[in-house]
Structure 1
Amino acid sequence: MKRFLTFAIAVASTISLTAQNTQRDSINNPNNQVNTAQRILNGNINTKGVTVGGYGELTYNRKDQNNAELDVQRLVLLFGYKFDDRTQFITEIEFEHVKEVFVEQAFLQYSISDNVNLRAGLMLVPMGIVNEYHEPTTFNGVERPSIDGSIVPTTWREIGFGLSGKYNEASLRYQLYAFNGFVSSTSDGNGNITGGKIGGSSGLRGGRQKGAKSTMNNLNFSGKLDYYGLPGLRLGLSGYFGRTQSPGDVEDIAGADVGISMIGLDARYAYQRFTARGQFIHGSLSDTEAYNNATGSKLGSALQGYYLEAAYNLLPQNKKQQLFGFVRYEDYDTHASVDGSLTKDLSYDRQEWTLGLSYKIAPGAVVKGDYQFKNNAVVGGSTVNQLNFGVGVWF
C-alpha cells in the first residue's frame, strides 16, 4: 500500500503541475495514440482490401563484466484485411532473435456501430501501457520496462472474444474480453502433477499459452477503461480475473491451478516538449500454498510493482525531429507476499533506474541509448549496471 500511495502522489503531482496550461500538445497527444492493430483498423476504413505494416528492433546490451550481446530482437509483419464496411481481420507475425516465429495477434472484428465492435481470436490482454503499446517508437528505453516482463508478462496475448469501442460523451474507451488463461501445471497423463509453469522471479510469464494448442478448463475475464477527457492526458484502469489452466487428468487435484485477480492503473501525459507516464500493477493469487506443495514452484501470493517516467524533448518544438532525454524508476516484486512455508526471496524485490535518450529521426524511426542501474533487496547485494543501444522502426 505504501508503494501504491507513493505512485499515486507522484502521478497526481506531475499532472497538477503540468496541466495548469491547457494549450494543445505539440507532440504525440495520448488522446490520439494508437497501437499496431488500431492503426490498421483505422487506416483501411475507406479502402477494401489488404493493409500492410510492420515494426522491428535491433539491440545492443552490455552488463558489467560481460561481453556485449547484439540481437535482432524482433521483426514483426502486420496484415489487415477489410472484407466490407463492418468486417476486418488483423494479424501480426513476429520473428524473434532471427529464428523464433510467433503469431502475436490474429483476430476478426465486426463493427455493430461506430462505437461498438465485436472481436474474436488471438488478442492482447489490456493490462497497463506497454502490453498494448509496445511498438519501439511508442516508449522510451531500448528495453521495455522490466515490470512489463515479470508482473505484466508482455507480450501477453491469449485466445478469446469480447467487445471494444468508445463512448465519446464520457471520453471513455472500453474493452471487455473473455480469454483462456495461463497454464500453471504439467502432468504425466496418468493423473500425476509433474511440475509447475509459473512462479519465481518471472511470476506468471512461463504460463502464457500464446494461442499455441492452448489448454482451457477455466474462463478468465479481462477489461480496461481509458479516459481521454482532458487535454494531453490518458488514464487507464485495467482488470483481469479468473483461474489458471491445468491438464485434464489433474484439473481436480488440489494445487493444479491458482486463482488470479490483477488490477492495473496507468497514466500518460504530454504537454509541449514534456511527457510523463506511470503505471501500478497488483496481482493477488489464491491457493498458492497448495500449488507450491504440488509443483515445487516458488509462486508468491501477490505480485506488485510500479514505475514513474519523465521525458523532455531537447530540440525546439518547430523541428520535425525529436530528442527526448528521459529518466525512469521501477520498483517491482514477484514475492510481494507469500503463503505457507514459502520464504520471501529478497532477490525478487527489485528496483531499477534507467536514464537515456530517444532520438526520433523521422516519424516511425528512432535511435535509442540508455544506462541502467539494477538493485534488489538482498542485504549487501551489488548493483548491476547495463548499457543499451537500439534502433527501432514502425510503419
Structure 2
Amino acid sequence: MKAITSLVFLFFSTISFAQTVQDSIPTNSEQKENASQRILSGNSGGAVTIGGYGEMVYNQPEGDNGTLDVHRLVLLLGYKFDEKTQFITEIEVEHVKEIYVEQAFVNYAISNNVNLRGGLMLVPMGIINEFHEPTTFNGTSRPAVDHDIVPTTWRELGVGVTGRIPEYSLGYQAYIFNGFKSTAFDSDGGVKGFLKGKDGLRGGRQKGIKSTVDSPTLSAKVDYYGIPGLRFGLAGYFGKTQADDKVEDLDGANIGISMVGFDVRYAFRKFTARGEFVYASLSDTDKYNALTGKDLGSALMGYYVEGAYNLLPMTAKQKLYAFARYEHYDTHASTEGTLVRNDAYNRQDITAGLSYHIANGVVVKGDYQIKDNAVDGVDVKNQLNFGIGVWF
C-alpha cells in the first residue's frame, strides 16, 4: 500500500508543474495519436494510406505451461476522396485464425474543428479502447480494467460528431450507437444470456456482425488538453441493451446501462503517467439473471494508476521505460436480488516491467504480474509475460 500511495503522490506532484500550451496531439504521434487519427491527419500525403500494427506475446503463469500467440495483426487502410471526405478501416486477424473488422467509418469534415462520422467506430471510454496500438502502452497485455470493465476493443455501428473547441482547449465526441446484445433464443428454445458476472458486458459486444438494435445508446466524451503534456478525459455511455425479436418482450430480456469514466495522461521529459477510473451501474439485473441463469452484477468498477520512467538519455533515439501499474477491478461491485457477491470477481493486479522501444514503431516488452482477489485463502497464479509490438 505504501508503494501505491507513493506512486499516486508522484503522479499528481509532477502534474502540478505543468503550464498551458496548445494541444500536443499532433506533435508526438507515438504517444498522442491512434491509428485512425494518424490516417485522418494525412501523414502519407496521398489519397491511399496503408499501415498496420501487431503484437506477439508469451505468457507464463506460475506452475503452468506457457503460451505463445500471434495475438493480433491489423491492416490499416485509409482513402481520401477529397479535402473533406475520408474513409478509415482496420482489418484485424486475432490468434492467426479469427478475422474481424475493427473500424470502418466515413469522416466528413464540416470545418477544421467539426467532423461528422458514420460506420463501425470505437466507443470513447477510457484510454486503451481508443489508444490500443502496442507501442502506445506499457505492459505486454492491456490493463485488465480495459478488458473486464471497459470491454476493449469495444466498437459498434453508429453516427456521430467529433471536433474541438480551441479557445477552451477541449476536444469532444458524441455518438448514437447500437447497444450490447443481452439475450436471444438458443437452439432448444431457451433464453441465452450474453452478459455475466466474471467479465460483465464483454460478451454482449455486437462488433457490427448482423447487429440487432431496438433502442439506440448515447456515447460521449470530452477531453481537456490545455496543460502541456497533460490530458484529462471524461466519458459517458447511457442506454439499454438489445435483445432479439420476441425475446425483447420477456421480463428481464434487457438491462439499463449507465457508465462513466475519467482518465488522465501525463508526460514530462523522461517521466510518463496515466490513470483511469470507470464505474457502470446496471439496472434490472435481478430479472435478467432470473431469466438467463447468469450472475451479472448490478455495478462494475475499476481503476488503475501507472508510472513510467525512461532509463536512457533524452538524446537517445531509443527509449527504455521501467514502469509499474496497480489496478483494482470488481465486476460484482454490487448485486441485486438474491445474487450473492462473488469475491473472486473483486480483483487486483500489480504489473511491473520494461518497455524497450528499439525504433520508432517497434517495442520489446517484459513484465511480471502479481495477481490477487478478495477470496480468503485462495492463491491466484502470478504471471510472467514477454512480447513484441509494432505500429507503422
TM-score tier (shorter): over 0.9
| Corresponding residue for residue 234 of structure 1 | 231
| Corresponding residue for residue 168 of structure 2 | 170
| Corresponding residue for residue 136 of structure 1 | 134
Q: Which amino acid aligns with 2:48?
A: V
What secondary structure is seen at the aligned counterpart in 2 of 1:293?
helix
| Corresponding residue for residue 59 of structure 1 | 57
Q: Does 1:109 align with 2:107?
A: yes
8 Å contact kept, 1:265–1:281: yes
8 Å contact kept, 1:243–1:259: yes
| Corresponding residue for residue 179 of structure 2 | 181
Q: Which amino acid aligns with 1:88?
A: Q
Q: Which string of whole-angstrom CA distances, capped at 9 and with x for unpartnered residues, describes residues 25-53 of structure 1?
A: 9xx86997110000000025853x21000
- Give the whole-Å Cα distance in 2 for the aligned partners of 1:76 and 1:226: 27
| Corresponding residue for residue 41 of structure 1 | 40
Shift of 1:186: 1.5
Q: Does 1:305 align with 2:302?
A: yes
| Corresponding residue for residue 96 of structure 2 | 98
- Give the whole-Å Cα distance in 1 for the aligned partners of 2:19 and 2:6: 21
- Give the whole-Å Cα distance in 2 for the aligned partners of 1:23 and 1:252: 53
Structure-2 change in CA distance of 1:250 and 1:8 (3 Å): farther
Shift of 1:384: 1.6
- Give the whole-Å Cα distance in 2 for the aligned partners of 1:8 and 1:113: 45
What secondary structure is seen at the aligned counterpart in 1 of 2:242?
coil
What secondary structure is seen at the aligned counterpart in 1 of 2:254?
coil
Aligned length: 385
| Corresponding residue for residue 4 of structure 1 | none
- Give the whole-Å Cα distance in 2 for the aligned partners of 1:12 and 1:110: 43
| Corresponding residue for residue 354 of structure 2 | 357
More displaced, 379-388 or 52-61?
379-388
| Corresponding residue for residue 84 of structure 1 | 82
8 Å contact kept, 1:284–1:303: yes
- Give the whole-Å Cα distance in 2 for the aligned partners of 1:386 and 1:394: 26
Name the % identity. Answer: 59
- Give the whole-Å Cα distance in 2 for the aligned partners of 1:326 and 1:83: 42
What secondary structure is seen at the aligned counterpart in 2 of 1:229?
strand
Alignment of 1:148-159 (within 5 A): 148-159=146-157
| Corresponding residue for residue 20 of structure 1 | 17
Q: Which string of whole-angstrom CA distances, capped at 9 and with x for unpartnered residues, describes residues 207-245 of structure 1?
A: 000000001101000000111000110000010000000
Q: Point out 4+ residue stretches in structure 1 off by more than 4 angstroms.
A: 7-13, 21-25, 28-32
Aligned Cα root-mean-square deviation (Å): 2.1
Shift of 1:141: 0.1
- Give the whole-Å Cα distance in 2 for the aligned partners of 1:302 and 1:266: 19
What secondary structure is seen at the aligned counterpart in 1 of 2:14?
helix
| Corresponding residue for residue 319 of structure 2 | 322
Structure 1, unmatched stretches of 5+, are 1-6
What secondary structure is seen at the aligned counterpart in 1 of 2:135?
coil
Shift of 1:189: 8.6
Q: Which amino acid aligns with 2:374?
A: A
Q: Which string of whole-angstrom CA distances, capped at 9 and with x for unpartnered residues, describes residues 10-37 of structure 1?
A: 7686233343265999xx8699711000
| Corresponding residue for residue 376 of structure 1 | 373
Structure-2 change in CA distance of 1:8 and 1:163 (3 Å): farther
Structure-2 change in CA distance of 1:22 and 1:169 (3 Å): closer
1:280 pairs, out of 266, 277, 293, with 277
Q: Which string of whole-angstrom CA distances, capped at 9 and with x for unpartnered residues, describes residues 323-381 of structure 1?
A: 00000001000000000000000000000000000000011000000000110000111
1:244 pairs, out of 231, 236, 241, with 241
What secondary structure is seen at the aligned counterpart in 1 of 2:206?
coil
1:216 pairs, out of 199, 213, 218, with 213
What secondary structure is seen at the aligned counterpart in 2 of 1:43?
coil
8 Å contact kept, 1:30–1:232: no
Structure-2 change in CA distance of 1:32 and 1:392 (3 Å): closer
Structure-2 change in CA distance of 1:353 and 1:10 (3 Å): closer
What secondary structure is seen at the aligned counterpart in 1 of 2:347?
strand
- Give the whole-Å Cα distance in 1 for the aligned partners of 2:326 and 2:224: 24
What secondary structure is seen at the aligned counterpart in 2 of 1:241?
strand
More displaced, 80-89 or 195-204?
195-204
Structure-2 change in CA distance of 1:16 and 1:115 (3 Å): same
What secondary structure is seen at the aligned counterpart in 1 of 2:221?
strand
Structure-2 change in CA distance of 1:8 and 1:354 (3 Å): closer
| Corresponding residue for residue 72 of structure 1 | 70
2:193 pairs, out of 187, 196, 204, with 196
What secondary structure is seen at the aligned counterpart in 2 of 1:239?
strand
Q: Does 1:270 align with 2:270?
A: no
Structure-2 change in CA distance of 1:222 and 1:18 (3 Å): closer
What secondary structure is seen at the aligned counterpart in 1 of 2:181?
coil
What secondary structure is seen at the aligned counterpart in 1 of 2:150?
coil
